[in-house]
Chains A and B, each alone.
Chain A
Amino acid sequence: MAGGGGSIAVVGDELPGWSEIIETLMFRAGYNTNIVIMGTTLLGLAAGVIGVFALLRKRSLMTDALSHATLPGIGLAFLVGGWMGVDGRSLAVLLLGATVTGVIGVVCIQGILRYTRLREDAAIGIVLSVFFGAGVVVLSYIQVNAASGAAGLNKFIYGQTAAMSERDAMLMGAIAVVAVVATVLFLKEFALVCFNESFARVNGWSVSAIDLIMMGLVVAVTVAGLQAVGLILVVAMLIIPAVSARFWSERLWALVVLAGLIGAASGYFGSVVSALMPRKPAGAVIVLTSGVIFAISMVCAPKRGVISAGVRRGMVSLRIAGEHLLEEAYGRGESGGRFALTSREISRAVRIGVWSVVFGPVVRAGLYWRRLARRTRDGIELTEEGVRQGARVRRNHRLWEQYLVSYADIAPSHVDWSVDQVEHVLSDELIRELETQLGARGIVVSDGVGVAR
């Protein structure tokens, strides 16, 4: 989209001008385009909202099997419709067929799980591929034998957004309304069943009724999305907005709202882009758009994102390294010297792989900044506060070692941290607990602070 106003030919594609882009974005690109944009936006909204529950119920893969299992239904509906004199190409008939075999596919998965010892992934793999294979066979039969052109059925595999009619867009709108209303009504019930099914059951909730509503909505969205994005990609419209939204929200209602917005935005931008570049299939572009939103979320999200997690880990390592230095320097002072470390001792104490070179100075800077140490000619010396902190770290270390020694019989199996790590993360509550437990065995860990004073 780096068109920049002119029409530069890139690999045979005409890039649209800015005015055209803006017109399309603002719903001024003509009636048919608007219908498509509206329809996919509403579909994206519905799929985003309902996808949250497919995800939380751990049914992402089952949704994929569901969409693949719709293909034989589409073909059979076309054939049966033809025999019965109904127009086999009417969308309602085809989607009815899709729903029937889609649901049969899900029922088959449940049956396999119930009556065999196969795991869910295997059951899904079997049903997905077998039903899809059946669909391909039925479609090729139609291709060869049906008198009227049946090529249109292929659009359900890859999607053909541009073919969306006004009625289709209304269907998307209706499904979006149903999805939102059902979510508002049943948010509490959905949450309960998704979080803790057995508790819901014990409490007397009809888990199968709630599941039926939830899965019914998933089926509705999937079938409605077949024509727009195709059965291969429709699962992405359900799942990607939900997982993207999860990076930004810790509450269910926020997750639902955000997933709906992300889904709608993907549908909107995806169809706009494909309207501007007619040879780009809208379904794929919609999915790619949500993929971009997912990637941004995964990297940048404030709490759960990759960057913030890395920063957090880095901060913890910095703090632990800083405390190591404090403890080390405190040890020097305790045994009669100064509360100080030379640069060489520091680099020996702060060893974190290849990062040591960068890390050492940063750790030192942190100590200066927190006024725990000051620079000396050949290293650092602790301030009064630094000495106090060093004493605390040293004491925690001893407490923990003492605990491991006195409870050697059970501690190793209950504790999976190394001594060096744990002394820095002990909470005050845990430290008091250690003190009382050791005290009960007559072990007193010297305070150590006395030396500092």
Chain B
Amino acid sequence: MSASKVKKGSGGGGGLGARPEHSSDSPLSIHAVTVAYHRKPVLWDVDYDAPSNQLIAIVGPNGAGKSTLIKACLGLVPRASGEVEFWGGSYRQARSRIGYVPQRESVDWDFPVSALDVVCMGRYRKIGWCKPVTRSHKEAGLECLDRVGMRAYAHRQISMLSGGQQQRVFLARALAQEADLYFMDEPFAGVDAATERAIVEVLRELKGQGKTVIAVHHDLQTVAEYFDRVILLNMRVVAAGAVEDVFTRENLHKTYGGRLTLLSEAAEAIARAGGR
């Protein structure tokens, strides 16, 4: 198993006694997870323990299973084997503490709702079955739109928003969930500069509030700037840990194989990270 485990303060106690590496401190523990689509493995024996209160990037080439890893954690794709624990408990127990930003392309933006309606969806669970969205929930939704600089667009139909603005609406919806652990699937994909800044600001804000973020990230150039930790993924975990330790040329080489264009990009990214 080449995956380097990341642990932070074992904390002892809770969790599974049989496996000391799983502690209730860690918001997310992935153990030996394998996922296959039509018998073709996409993730192979993935192990990872996420340290608390960190911004964590999942990085890897196309088809490396980055999104699948997030979806497997959230139970959106069936796991062939392995376990996922949240704060030492099951997903069911932890659900109200988990926020999710799906890929923007995963929904039909021509849907007849406003930006605020979408954000309020993050609070539906708190509202409960059959009850209407009350004024106070709408206020909370507006607050979240404000945090991503989208308050002025609250009553726009969502297809009238630009791609970046749609991404910010998704982020605001996740904020409305008031979670402790956030999964974000390519939050920076195809967004404009203003959105990128807004997202980074929100990420730092979340970190300041003691929350943990795990995001699929495709831009090697900005990994070191935006994130504390990185998981290099290519079907299995090639390396994982603090960006300074793990985000190295040879690890990237291992992750991306011989893809030259990406390697030159990576080299540049490392040069920059080193310069900091």
Contact = CB atoms under 8 A, between A and B. Distances in A.
Interface of A: 56, 58, 117, 185-186, 188-189, 191-192, 194-196, 198-199, 201-205, 246, 249-252, 254-255, 429-430, 433
Given A188-B133, A204-B95, A196 B114 contact: no
B193 A198 contact: no
Closest 6 CB pairs of A and B: A250-B157, A202-B100, A204-B95, A185-B130, A203-B125, A195-B111
B75 interface: yes
B32 interface: no
A204 B92 CA distance: 8
A196 B102 contact: yes
B98 A252 contact: no
B111 A188 contact: no
B180 to A, nearest CB: 14
Contacts of B192: 430
Given A117-B38, A186-B130, A195 B125 contact: no
B112 A250 contact: yes
A221 B245 CA distance: 62
B132 interface: yes
Nearest to A187: B132
A196 B101 CA distance: 11
A391 B204 CA distance: 41
B127 A246 contact: no
Contacts of B76: 198, 201-202
Interface of B: 38, 71, 74-76, 92, 95-96, 98, 100, 102, 106-108, 111-114, 117-118, 121, 124-125, 127, 129-133, 157, 173, 177, 192-194
Contacts of B107: 195-196
A192 B96 contact: no
A196 B106 contact: yes
B124 A195 contact: no
A205 B95 CA distance: 10
Contacts of B124: 188-189, 192, 203, 205
B113 A191 contact: yes
Contacts of A195: 107-108, 111, 113, 118, 121
Contacts of A56: 111-112
Contact of A188 (B92, B127, B157): B127
B38 A199 contact: no
B98 A188 contact: no
Contacts of A203: 95, 100, 124-125, 177
A292 B91 CA distance: 51
B96 A204 contact: yes
Main secondary structure of the interface of A (DSSP, over half): helix
7 contacts: A196-B106, A199-B100, A203-B124, A204-B125, A249-B112, A251-B112, A252-B117
Contact of A251 (B113, B125, B193): B113
A195 B121 CA distance: 10
Contacts of B121: 191-192, 195-196, 199
Contact of A189 (B96, B129, B157, B194): B129
Contacts of A188: 124, 127, 130-133
Contacts of B112: 56, 246, 249-252, 254-255
B174 to A, nearest CB: 9
A199 B102 contact: yes
A221 to B, nearest CB: 20
Contact of B106 (A198, A204, A430): A198
A238 to B, nearest CB: 17
Contacts of A196: 102, 106-107, 121
A438 to B, nearest CB: 13
Given A198-B76, A205-B125, A251 B100 contact: no
B74 A202 contact: yes
A334 B111 CA distance: 49
Contacts of A201: 74-76
B188 to A, nearest CB: 13
A429 B192 CA distance: 11
B101 to A, nearest CB: 9
Contacts of B125: 203-205
A259 to B, nearest CB: 11
Contacts of A252: 112-113, 117
A405 B231 CA distance: 36
A185 B117 CA distance: 17
Contacts of A185: 130
Contacts of B127: 188
B172 to A, nearest CB: 13
A254 B157 CA distance: 13
A4 B229 CA distance: 81
Contacts of B173: 199
Contacts of A255: 112
Nearest to A255: B112
Contacts of B177: 203
A198 B183 CA distance: 13
Contacts of A199: 100, 102, 121, 173
Contacts of B129: 189
A411 to B, nearest CB: 14
B159 to A, nearest CB: 9
B169 to A, nearest CB: 11
A56 B114 CA distance: 15
A203 B107 CA distance: 16
A117, A188, A249, A433, most chain B CB atoms within 10 A: A188
Contacts of A202: 74-76, 95, 98, 100
Contacts of A192: 121, 124
A205 B92 CA distance: 11
Contacts of A429: 194
A203 B123 CA distance: 9
A17 B138 CA distance: 55
A237 B42 CA distance: 43
Given A188-B124, A204-B96, 16 more contacts: A185-B130, A188-B132, A192-B121, A195-B107, A196-B102, A198-B71, A198-B76, A202-B76, A202-B100, A203-B124, A204-B92, A249-B112, A251-B113, A252-B113, A255-B112, A433-B194
Contacts of A58: 108
A251 B111 CA distance: 9
B193 A433 contact: yes
B138 to A, nearest CB: 13
A181 to B, nearest CB: 11
Nearest to B157: A250
B29 to A, nearest CB: 18
Nearest to A252: B112
Contacts of A117: 38
